[in-house]
A and B are shown apart, each in its own frame.
Chain A
């Protein structure tokens, strides 16, 4: 069943359109930076953009930072929100269930396919970022240049590569939280749009609360609180505190929401 779901996902033109659009924004940014040579002042604008002018290989991470606040969550919410609700709306859900595909099995297969999408999207975005960055921005041989970390000290190219992989993993895991919200909502409603929008509303609400001092007591528990903490992976030494908290928090969200999705989906009347 997992194989079937993956086939459905990757044979769908929309999947590749989404990934293509995700790639477009960082590419445009890279072209603008390369043409003008004007980077944001350090400390302003998306993370790493001031650093990439000297070394393009950091653009892999910069690309993630560019799409992370909005584009990537939107893409994940759209795909995850469509999983169950989309099948319900098109009527194919009932034919899958009477095939029969067990409801738990179907949900697990959907979850795996969403995870595959998240991973593909993140890897493609950072991969494109790396290639575009190397081609347009800094094209010094990697070994010759030491990259300056966010803390100001130098990182070797080996360190950068390892930390980039960690960052990709962290961002993917953060997106899994979005996917879990959207998947849960997708089992509640028969409208894929509502599920995606609902998940986005929660994320936007969370981001908004993060900017308000009065909600300080809530902030450590908001789903988007630690998203950008992957920047800490590029400090020297790595500042693990927020990264680990982020992983733990997302883990709790993912478990609780997937549990809720399972409980709801396995007992509900399928009337679509």
Chain B
């Protein structure tokens, strides 16, 4: 769905995006991770033909961008750097204007416009918002409206930049469910975010951007692979420590970190020796650990 080859963008002497090769496959929910200022938004803008690449190639749905942007972008729904709307108009009027915009090919048919707008407003949970102008919307409502605009054309590919920004926990949950439903319906989703938890809960594949370079691109499960150690929580920590002499890497109160990737065997050994086990399981790297290992210090940190 999205392929880039050595995609690079320089602003003067600053290299914002440095030779990245993205590969988003049909059916992915792709999490595009990176700290603030790592080049995520510039990349998204290049994918959508808003910013011209300095060098490299982009293919969106198999077509070159920006050359064929007019032909492919009508199958892509996107939200870039927050939603935007005309404040003096209602959400419905905004969607109507957007739907009527574009070339004859790109714009929506007038006949079922009202119906489609009603449908997307329902999808994002704004059905009852009425004629209120957008300037009276809360941040979360604007975010939902932005999402509705992206969905207006039933896109094959959704490109979303921080879609849950400004939403409360229930709202985040709703949007996550909506994205999962869309994904189940066959939509490929490219989700750019710095919220690791969000990506961890939603995505199947991740790419991590660090200061303009793509430092990893793989299945989420591979990044979270077991580390070959087992976490044990036991009220008899001292006894366990004595039994497992030398295999315990770290002890923190009741919690022991034991070398060896076979929790079942370890459990049998402990219980067999009369040591009570409260919790036991393989240690997995969290996405956060994986990302922090792969990336440098925060890029909006400015050292003197």
Contact = CB atoms under 8 A, between A and B. Distances in A.
7 contacts: A3-B100, A94-B48, A98-B76, A99-B98, A100-B49, A100-B69, A102-B103
Contacts of A99: 73-74, 98, 101-102, 106-107
B84 A91 contact: yes
Contacts, number: 81
Contacts of B51: 269-271
Contact of A98 (B80, B100, B103): B80
A3 B110 CA distance: 13
Interface of A: 1, 3-4, 7-8, 11-13, 90-92, 94-102, 105, 267, 269-271
B256 interface: no
Contact of B86 (A1, A8, A271): A8
Interface of B: 45, 48-52, 69-70, 73-74, 76, 78, 80-89, 93, 97-98, 100-103, 106-107, 149
Contacts of A98: 48-50, 73, 76, 78, 80
B50 A270 contact: yes
Nearest to B99: A99
Contacts of A105: 103
Of A95, A97, A269, most B-chain CB atoms within 10 Å: A95
Contacts of A91: 81-84
B60 to A, nearest CB: 11
A97 B101 CA distance: 10
Contacts of B73: 98-100
Contacts of A13: 88
Q: What 10 A-B pairs have minimum CB-CB distances, sorted nearest first? A: A91-B84, A100-B73, A270-B50, A269-B51, A99-B102, A98-B48, A92-B84, A101-B102, A4-B100, A99-B101
B55 to A, nearest CB: 14
A12 B89 CA distance: 9
Given A4-B97, A8-B97, A102-B103, A97 B86 contact: no
A8 B97 CA distance: 8
Contacts of A101: 101-103, 106
Contacts of A100: 49, 69-70, 73-74, 102-103, 106
B88 A12 contact: yes
B11 to A, nearest CB: 8
Nearest to B80: A94
A264 to B, nearest CB: 13
B85 to A, nearest CB: 7
A3 B69 CA distance: 23
B149 A97 contact: no
A118 B133 CA distance: 27
B81 A1 contact: no
